[in-house]
Structure 1
Amino acid sequence: MKKLINAPEQVVKEALAGMADAHADLLKVHYDPDIIVRADAPVANKVGLVSGGGSGHEPMHGGFVGKGMLDAACPGAVFTSPVPDQMLAATKAVSAGKGVLHIVKNYTGDVMNFEMAAELAAAEGIEVASVVTNDDVAVKDSLYTAGRRGVGVTVLMEKIVGGAAEAGADLAEVKRLAEKVNAHGRSMGMALTSCVVPHAGKPTFDLPDDEMEIGIGIHGEPGRTRVKVGHAADIAAMLAGPILEDLPFKQGDHVLAFVNGMGGTPLIELYLMYNELNKILTSHGITISRRLIGSYITSLEMAGCSFTLLKLDDELTKFWDAPVLTPALRWGC
């Protein structure tokens, strides 16, 4: 494998050290257990927001720590859930007396470990609520999940709920809003190549040069189908069709369209895919009112992309537009 690393076992800690130095104005990194915490945490009179998951998906989640988004993130080993000690430490670090919301992607290890951490935090007198994202329409169950996987909606939830928490919403309100985002969003992704986990040193799965995986998971889990590589317009239709049918989205809807790169896809191709998605939505009478295009939930160097559509109303739009200042997202500040 060819990677810009020193040793596989040091990748996460050395990357965290780089984040700490590069973004010292926004966040602090604590080690053993490893957590990334907002620089001014705990913020008085504010619900704390904590998320986390395996490393290798950067900028999710550490890149979303800061004003208007997460208060803390728990980075596990590459493609491996963080442990309850990390989640408990993060919860305690951001608790300011108004409770803490855990935003959890629906992967078995994440769900189990966050549940354990919430119980430990409750024993220490911290009120914790949890919301699990499960927006991936590609498969019902996978190698890592019972039920649908949590993918692109996670980023949108962290931003929208982060805006509400920054505005002073209480724990019940931020949980309600998080559940609303999850209920109104759907995602599906695809891969042109596999990726190489540093510890493994070889591709996670075999994908011939002339084939692509439709409905891939962010850890390389199998998708709906494997087909020959086609034109971007055809790929966009394969992703958008199941999303539109699932909620379902309908004529007259306004949506936030999130076109996400998996880590190895150039921005020129993501904008091309956004153009194809926009044409599909326009043909269905659906208006893109907000959009996010770029690599925000990656799978190391995997080439491919995902679509996420979130049905918007005035409330969701208001908190999406609210100021945010993190390493990966920033506007209005």
Structure 2
Amino acid sequence: MNRLPTYLLLALAAALLLLPLWANSGLVFLAGTTMVVAVFALSWNILFGYAGLASFGSGGLFSIGAYTMAVMLRGGHEAQFLLLIILSTLVGGAVAFAIGIVALRRSTGIYLAILTLALAELLRITLARIHWVGAEDGIPSIVRPAFSIGIATIDLSNGNRYYWFLCIACALLVGLCWWIAHGRFGRTLRTIRLDIERAAFMGVDTHRYRLIAFTISGAIAACAGALFAPWAQIVTPDIGNMMRSTQPILFTLLGGASSFWGPMIGAFLFSAIEFSTRTLVGIQEIITGGILLAVVLMFPTGVAGAWNALVARLFARSEPAKSAPATPALQTVKE
């Protein structure tokens, strides 16, 4: 009752898979980008919605994954593309672990948010000064690779093949996030978020669980960045700027942090609003901002929270309606 109907999710998945068969290349590119940033938002919500940690530096981890993939593809390693995705994920997870092991013991709340934002900006400025990775121009002309899986060679450079690869990869990452969020680890994180002192009293190593969540979130964010690099075919230092770091925050608040699907709903809703107002040059930002502000004010728990509340209310009304006719019938029998 408190979840989005399965058929809606299946309809969305089918629409995304069939999109290249009828849509133009611009809409296909937007859909692929939205899938990646939706996974990126899910990774952030593992921290915020489940562990109760607010990080404003996730854009830096996204850029680490993107740059790792771009550098390796530029070096001619496209034949090991699947291994490069794993490598980029591990690099992002290692950086997140190094940051978390220092930061989580010394800062929480707004202090952690500002610290992670400062580190992300420091990374962006550093990348803009390193000529080996293109400095401010970044790394252009990133190839969409062809790689072998033993029994066949998969060429992602032709047509919409990389888009369908993105569909599969993002579906696997969403499944991974679902397993993490709804397993024992996710339940423990929610316990820590609700009452960290009581969780510690019960014997839960709260620092270790938060550190693992910080690492997993960073690894998935880097994996999303690695998938995005060949899709965009260019990475620049601005790929990890403050706007990128605020993206998952906006999507999560728009869709609903209390729902697993909230960040994905927010990502697709935001993309739909931007696409619908793309021709309104000069006032697009005003209209988009106004719509988002209205949605946030009208639905404090996000779109997913409003949907769940509506479904619960409808079920609550339907149950008394079914039991109401029983009373007159009983009186008739007694008479």
TM range (shorter): under 0.3
Max Rg structure: 2
- In the superposition, the TM-score normalised over structure 1's length comes to 0.24
What is the TM-score normalised by the length of structure 2? 0.24
Q: Considering Cα pairs closer than 8 Å and 6+ residues apart, tell me whether 1 or 2 has the greater RCO.
A: 2
Relative to its length, the structure with more strand (as a share) is 1
